[in-house]
Every structure is written in C-alpha cells, then in structure tokens.
Amino acid sequence: MKSAEAAVIANEEIRPGVYLIRLECPDITSRARPGQFVMVRCGEGPEYQLRRPLSIHRTDENKLSLLFNVVGKGTRWLSECKCSEKIDLLGPLGNGYEIYPDSKKLLLAAGGIGIAPLVFLAEEAIKRGREVTLLLGAATAGQLYPKRLLPAGARLVTATEDGSGGEKGMITDMLPDFTDGIDQLFACGPLPMYKTVAPMAELKDKPVQVSLEVRMGCGLGICYGCTVKTINGLRQVCKDGPIFSLNEVLWDKLADI
C-alpha cells in the first residue's frame, strides 16, 4: 500500500491536550469507512520511523479529521503542525464497523478519546436513516468531547466520573438502561471498559462491535506486534480488526494499556 501526502487545513486544541486535525487527502477519504484508521508519520528523522495509528474521526468530501491525545513526542509534533504543512499517511486500514441492513436503533458508547471513530459512524448511520443514541463518558466535564462538534440528529447522553457533567458515574453504569430495544451496540474505549461490558447479561443476545486499541508497529500485519487471543485463535488488530465482536475476544488474556 502506498502512503499519501495530506495537507493540514486546521489543527485545533478542543480540550486540554486533545487535538482535532483536519487534512485534505482525497486518496484516503474516498475509500474510508467508519472504524478504520490511518498510520501517521509524526515527524522527520530516524526517531520518527514508527508511525502512530489514529482512528478516522470523520470525513467531508476530500477531507478527513483525526482526533488524538498528546501522549508523547510524536503526537506532540502532530499537535504543532500548521496549516499548509504536509503529513504522510498510510490507509485506510482495518475492517471498520458494520451496520446490519435490518438494524434500525443503534447505541454507541464512547469512553474518553473513544469518541474518535464513533463520530464518523454516527454520521454514516444518520445518513442511512438509523436512530442513534450516543453515550459519552469522561472523567470530568472539561474532558468531554464538545457537543458543538457532534453530528446533529444523534441523541446524546453524557456521564462523568465526578458528576461535573451529565450523570455521575461511568458509562458502563448507565449502559444497561439503554439496551432494551436496540438492534446493535458499537463501542470504543479502554480495555477496562470492555472487560466490564463483556459479562453484562443485558447484552447476551445483542450484537456488539468494539474497536480494540493496542500498540502497533507496522499497521499492515507484517510485524505481528498487535496480536491478540480470540475464540478463533490468534488475530492481528491491524489486519483482522480493529473492530471485533465483543464475545470474540478473550478479554482475560489482554493486559490493560
């Protein structure tokens, strides 16, 4: 797969340490599906050889957006990119979420930065005439994804651990209250969130798709650095995922990251 050069259109800090970068990249945007990701070269020189995997946050004609936390040298470099600068991307990669043809009511659950791929999914679902409810959780109100950036047409329910925004608690505490009548659940968040959700009786007969985040080396299925254990044997998150059925992954075999 060839890499593509993307021009920076905008780069905004929407929350402390959280950036939304908008790029012009028709080669990738035209093929992107919700849940897929790109591998981003964050910088120049030998210390930046390993790319960073970032979910495709949303698309608009020939433009795409990426949402990311600044957690190290590479993402710090990305956060400082200016308009008209060029960034090297590889993608779109991965399998993406699947909305079943007969599904009408969709529940989306995002924990923290897990909102990244779910905005794209919500927009696509609304375009297809689906009813979308979005559960959005964070530690504090100041860490919640801005409501102004969410797609119109989705029902929003928020929760914060300290009660400073929306309901007090974790979105996993609220989840059982929203499972009746839904056709599919889509989730993205940290591993502890999935480990809490996996045994829920309310989801026993519901199709649940989750976006799995692990450390990646190449993003192409070559290095095997993102291998996980599933009921179907060893799978690579970059190639076989990052979207998996909730009951497919052996969650007790995964270490929290």
- Asked if 12 and 79 count as a contact pair (C-beta separation under 8 A), the reply is no
Q: Which two tokens stand for residue 141?
A: 């109100």
Confidence bin at 1 (pLDDT 50/70/90): low
Residue 234 has a pLDDT of 93
- Asked if 28 and 39 count as a contact pair (C-beta separation under 8 A), the reply is no
Confidence bin at 48 (pLDDT 50/70/90): low
Quickly list DSSP for 155-224: EEEEEETTSSSSEES-HHHHGGGG-TT-SEEEEE--HHHHHHHTT-GGGTTS-EEEE-----SSSSSSS-
Least trusted range by pLDDT, from 15-29, 41-55, 183-197: 41-55
The per-type count for the chain, helices as H runs and strands as E runs, is 6, 15
Residue 204 has a pLDDT of 86
Residue 46 has a pLDDT of 65
Residue 102 has pLDDT above 70, yes or no: yes
Confidence bin at 226 (pLDDT 50/70/90): confident
Distance CA 184, CA 100 (A): 8
Distance CA 40, CA 129 (A): 33
**Domains in the chain, ordered, with CATH?**
4-93 (2.40.30.10), 105-253 (3.40.50.80)
Residue of 51, 53, 63 lying closest to 26 (CA atoms) = 63
Least trusted range by pLDDT, from 21-30, 35-44, 215-224: 215-224
Residue 198 has pLDDT above 70, yes or no: yes
Q: What are 53's strand-pairing partners? A: 39
Indicate the pairing of strand 184-188 with strand 105-111: parallel
- Asked if 171 and 109 count as a contact pair (C-beta separation under 8 A), the reply is yes
Average pLDDT over residues 6-35: 96
Confidence bin at 214 (pLDDT 50/70/90): confident
Average pLDDT, the chain: 92
DSSP state of 253: G
Confidence bin at 44 (pLDDT 50/70/90): confident
Least trusted range by pLDDT, from 85-89, 151-155, 218-222: 218-222
Residue 118 has pLDDT above 90, yes or no: yes
Residue 256 has pLDDT above 70, yes or no: no
- pTM for the model stands at 0.93
